[in-house]
Structure 1
Amino acid sequence: MSLRRTRLKRKGLAERFLTFSNQCNRQKIFCTAIIWRLIVWLAMSLSCAIIPNHNPGNDVLQFPLEGPQLIYDQHTNARWIDWETCSLPFRNIESQKSVLTKASVSFPVFLLQSKIYPFLLKPLTRWDAARFLRLAYEPQSRKPQLDECDEDEECLLHRFADSEQTHAFFPLFPTMIRVTATILTYLVPRFLLPSTCTSLMVFSAVCLNTICFLMVTMDLYAMTKDLLLFHYRMQEKYKEKTILSLSDCETWARRVALLFVCNPANVFFGTAYSEALCAALLCHGCRWALQMVLSNAASSPNGIVPSTTWWTMLGATPFWWLAALTRSNSTLYGGFLLLYGAGLVLRKRRGRWIWWRRSLVACYILLLIVFVAYGSMGWHNFRGYSMHCVEFTGVRPAWCEQGPWFNLYGHVQKKYWNVGFLRYFQIKQIPNFLLAGPILMLSALATSTWIQTSWTLLSDNQKSVPNRTILWIVDALQTFGGEQRPTAPLLTPGDVLQGSPYLLGFYAVLAASTLLGLTIAHVQISTRLICSSCPALYWFLVGALNKRFGDAIIGYFLLYNILGVIMHPNWLPWT
């Protein structure tokens, strides 16, 4: 009997997670994020060293760590990267070594550089990481290299295929790796840095992604706390019985941050993938946007927001535009702006020239949408067109006839990776659908929960279903646009995070990302796509931890962390 009682008292995974989060403060969350990153990195390195590598195929690009050494000035011992010599053709490493032998000064290779760095950095170059690292190491690979082909048609097609495929990868992340590498060579002593240019690229990507990971953790913490504090103050304002407390705001913010720290796509936030940078830019933009939405809603005592506040979304737009230069799915935040603009237009207003003001707001929001959703994509496509069709006057790809506004990114994804609507719905892809199944189901459940909660709060039970639906849509848009409701319903912290009308844009992006991963993109990327771009997912899951499937959520997170560090570094299909 005593043994049975002991088993009954044993805490589940969710309860242990909640207990740990209750004991944390902001500084401990920051330290926990760093420790978790180091644990995942070390686990990947051990996995790569112990488990035999799977053969990914001859057509999969690999990024070797062996390469030219960094150059040092023999008089001043200054460090720098000679990009001209470090960026010789990627496929000809021997020529790099011969040139650099003449230009560089020999220096001793320390144990850290000869043994430890190869052990730690090798597992971070798998799959798409090799693509990003190559673009950071050799930016000119975006241009077709036709010098050696003469008029050989097969050689020309091969070179065009190589350069076209690089345009499936957006430029900001490789550029930031390159910038980080330059900064490190000036700030860090040479015996602490990898000895080769290629290794330095990988190390720079790790440093960059670690910083971005910490930024996302702190931004999620701040966003959650701001949202809960807003609802706490609103309940006090209406003198209702307060369910929320100040301690709840802090506690639930810690839970959201810690849940992100152990998210199921964790391995991709450490390796040389662009998810961490994209998430940092998106979350910082979301934090700015949420603060403005909430401050607008609190600025008017009568629930009518002044028309001068419609410009406040401008602060989030540059971050989202930069995120769209990192990953294409960031353009979905153009829909966030669309919903916010609709809320501003539908907001109850009084005064003269009301339609003129609304038209001005609509035009302004439309410009921001074009800037976020199409500006970066259009610039990236035009850049690819210029490299292939303008700089070469002889042999050119057939798609050059389509003009400078041709969607090169979509063409490359469709041609080389079979990306398109329902193209991945094949019997042989069933394992990938099973792999992405948990995150897709959780995201769909999060969206439906927000709709159900918002429907209960905003709809009028006395009206028919069609009228209730229309009024619910209008009320949801108006509230998201910053308009206060005349009364503040009682909400628990979980209800706020799962159904607050002020989170309409966030849950809309989550729904769009789920549909994108399910119907258009390679379904196996859904986990990292959603975990890196949708704060609403973590808000919903934190609210669900107290329910019966809380242990399943934490178990799913930990299981995918373990599978990721085993499969990804060994060239197994975890991409």
Structure 2
Amino acid sequence: MPTNITKLAIFSRLFVIFLQCVSNHLIEDHNADDVFRAPIDTAVRKKKCDTIVEFLLGGFRRWDAQYFLHISEHGYTYENTLAFYPLYPLSIKMIRYVFINITPFLTVRSLSLLIGVVLNVIFFVKATNSLYELAKKVLKDQRKAEVAAILFCFNPASIFFTAPYSESLYSWLSFSLMLKCFDDINSVLIVVPLSCSILTRSNGLINIGFVVYYGLKKMFNQNTVLSFVTVFLKIFSILIIIAFHFGLMQVYNYYLFCFQKSFNFPDFIKDFALENDLVLAGNRSSTSNESVSPWCLSNFPVAYSYIQEHYWNVGYMNYYEFKQIPNFLLAAPIVLIILVNAFIYFINNQDYCWRLGIFNLRQSILRKTSIADQNQFVFIVHAVAMCLFCIFFIHVQVTTRILASSNPMLYFFCANYFMPESGAHKKNDDKINEVHVFDIKKLNWTQRFIVYYFIGYYSLGTVLFSNFFPWT
């Protein structure tokens, strides 16, 4: 990966930190009602450098960052915290154990915030690296790969890649998984990013589709029954391992909230549960003496869907209200970019798409579909599926950060608007060196829209988020 792109990735994170700090102190925080604000142990005295950390990074302690930091400090104390998967907060906790004894000038609370942000800067650079390598192999065009990486550095959901959220970690794991699947579906190492992505975000389960798809392609390219069965058994073994890891997480959740246990929680944790009528781990029922949570009684007790619906009213078209029109408009740009370009792709490659890029691919079909287009098929299907799911099932404004962190097609599609086709490169090599991504005067209206969208959301999102204004 070019050094300048690595530097740009780091710069983009440092600028988010700077912009967050300035806006957090210049603008008064919005009074967000009914927002989870993690309980604080008032008995713990502030230490020397706590004020510095809060001054520099306090604007990142907003919205869902409250949950991730709370989990990293106190574990899964309340039932609603189960909506946030464990790998990212566990990473903060493990690193804090290493540094807590050598940083006596910081409390656990401040150290957790500092580690969370630093980790995300590292994860973001790793994610940029993985996206660039993936783009080079999928698009078969290094310059487009560079543009895609540049766009990722200033993506519309940038604030969530720096604040204590799981987006940067999830992007790194997802892009790494896609790259490994593309390179060698037989590799046992695929288990690592796939398992970790599932332990990072709920939509990590959808990443199994990449393993299945590339596994099918590999199987149908085998010449003998033995080689076909060998590939099948490898893929099946990978899926069994993944199911085991996912199952362990569900067993742990069940242990916490579906049994009567005596956990040694501090008083301020218990008091917060009483004040906010939250289900405390080990109680088996809520503090208002209601019956046990319904998900505990299910044949397959998975807490996530119940918690999303019960605490945030997440469900099929539950968000379709007139008052949510601004949030639909907020998500509109990324939805249009994904769906319009996916439709154009389908129109131009119908035969290849109907055959799923696997079955009965005649030479005439392969000649009509470029290698780059063939490579992009599975990523486009994933992007469209995720996009439609977001539109109909979740809080629609979250669409931007889900798609920006889980799929490369936003950056691939947009990169296509800035670079000519590979064939054009060969006709005029001088144009290869001219990528005016941020030179507004040399851009057409489509390119300008993309730049304004990316930079606008990058900047505005950081300012609003850091002051508790809705941007999630």
TM-score (normalizing by structure 2): 0.81
Match of 1:269 in 2: 161
Residues 344 and 478 in structure 1, CA contact (< 8 A), matched pair in contact too: no
Unmatched tracts of structure 1, length 5 or more: 1-24, 64-89, 101-107, 144-162, 230-248, 293-309, 460-470
Q: 2:85 aligns with which of 142, 161, 170?
A: 170
Match of 1:251 in 2: 143
Match of 1:93 in 2: 42
SS at match of 1:41: helix
Instruction: Quote how far apart the aligned CAs of 1:411 are.
Output: 0.8
Distance in 2, matches of 1:488 and 1:376, equals: 39
Pick which of 270-279 and 218-227 moved more.
218-227
Matches within 5 A, 1:191-270: 195-229=106-140, 249-270=141-162
Pick which of 27-36 and 399-408 moved more.
399-408
Residues 181 and 204 in structure 1, CA contact (< 8 A), matched pair in contact too: yes
Match of 2:274 in 1: none
Match of 2:191 in 1: 317
Instruction: Quote how far apart the aligned CAs of 1:26 are.
Output: 0.8
Cα distance change, pair 389–535 in 1 and its aligned pair in 2 (3 A): same
Distance in 2, matches of 1:251 and 1:445, equals: 23
Instruction: Quote how far apart the aligned CAs of 1:218 are.
Output: 1.1
Distance in 2, matches of 1:26 and 1:164, equals: 45
Distance in 2, matches of 1:194 and 1:269, equals: 27
Residues 181 and 210 in structure 2, CA contact (< 8 A), matched pair in contact too: no
Give the alignment's Cα RMSD to 1 decimal.
Answer: 2.9
Instruction: Quote how far apart the aligned CAs of 1:227 are.
Output: 3.4
Distance in 2, matches of 1:60 and 1:30, equals: 36
Is 1:552 aligned with 2:463? no
Q: Which protein is bigger by CA-based radius of gyration?
A: 1
Per-residue CA deviation, residues 510-537 of structure 1 (Å, 9 max, x unaligned), is: 1121012111111111000000010122
Cα distance change, pair 454–394 in 1 and its aligned pair in 2 (3 A): closer
Instruction: Quote how far apart the aligned CAs of 1:364 are.
Output: 4.6
Distance in 2, matches of 1:132 and 1:490, equals: 48
Residues 446 and 537 in structure 1, CA contact (< 8 A), matched pair in contact too: no
Cα distance change, pair 486–288 in 1 and its aligned pair in 2 (3 A): farther
Give the percent of matched residue pairs that are identical in Structure 1 and Structure 2: 27
Residues 378 and 405 in structure 1, CA contact (< 8 A), matched pair in contact too: no
Unmatched tracts of structure 2, length 5 or more: 262-281, 286-291, 420-443
Is 1:286 aligned with 2:181? no
Instruction: Quote how far apart the aligned CAs of 1:404 are.
Output: 6.7
Pairs aligned (count): 422
Instruction: Quote how far apart the aligned CAs of 1:341 are.
Output: 3.0
Distance in 1, matches of 2:239 and 2:5, equals: 35
Q: 2:395 aligns with which of 499, 519, 522?
A: 522
Distance in 1, matches of 2:450 and 2:395, equals: 23
In structure 2, what residue type is equivalent to 1:420?
G
SS at match of 2:314: coil
- Which structure has more relative contact order (CA 8 Å, sep 6+)? It is 2
Residues 129 and 273 in structure 1, CA contact (< 8 A), matched pair in contact too: yes
Per-residue CA deviation, residues 145-173 of structure 1 (Å, 9 max, x unaligned), is: xxxxxxxxxxxxxxxxxx21011111111
Cα distance change, pair 54–346 in 1 and its aligned pair in 2 (3 A): same
Instruction: Quote how far apart the aligned CAs of 1:551 are.
Output: 1.1
Instruction: Quote how far apart the aligned CAs of 1:183 are.
Output: 3.6
Match of 2:273 in 1: none
Cα distance change, pair 445–541 in 1 and its aligned pair in 2 (3 A): same
Instruction: Quote how far apart the aligned CAs of 1:261 are.
Output: 0.2
In structure 1, what residue type is equivalent to 2:117?
V
SS at match of 2:251: helix
Distance in 2, matches of 1:448 and 1:62, equals: 42
Per-residue CA deviation, residues 213-272 of structure 1 (Å, 9 max, x unaligned), is: 00011111112223355xxxxxxxxxxxxxxxxxxx332221111110000000101111
Pick which of 378-387 and 528-537 moved more.
378-387
Residues 117 and 194 in structure 1, CA contact (< 8 A), matched pair in contact too: no
Per-residue CA deviation, residues 67-93 of structure 1 (Å, 9 max, x unaligned), is: xxxxxxxxxxxxxxxxxxxxxxx5543
In structure 1, what residue type is equivalent to 2:415?
V
Instruction: Quote how far apart the aligned CAs of 1:394 are.
Output: 7.5
SS at match of 1:93: coil
Per-residue CA deviation, residues 20-65 of structure 1 (Å, 9 max, x unaligned), is: xxxxx811111111111111111111111011111012x32225xx
Per-residue CA deviation, residues 352-401 of structure 1 (Å, 9 max, x unaligned), is: xx3x75466446535544654x5554333321111122353985414366
SS at match of 1:338: helix
Matches within 5 A, 1:123-522: 123-139=59-75, 142-143=76-77, 163-185=78-100, 190=103, 195-229=106-140, 249-292=141-184, 311-312=186-187, 314-347=188-221, 349-351=222-224, 354=225, 358=228, 361-362=231-232, 364-369=234-239, 371-372=241-242, 374-392=243-261, 396=285, 397-399=292-294, 402-403=297-298, 405-455=300-350, 459=351, 473-474=354-355, 476-477=357-358, 489=367, 497=372, 500-522=373-395
In structure 1, what residue type is equivalent to 2:253?
G
SS at match of 2:106: coil
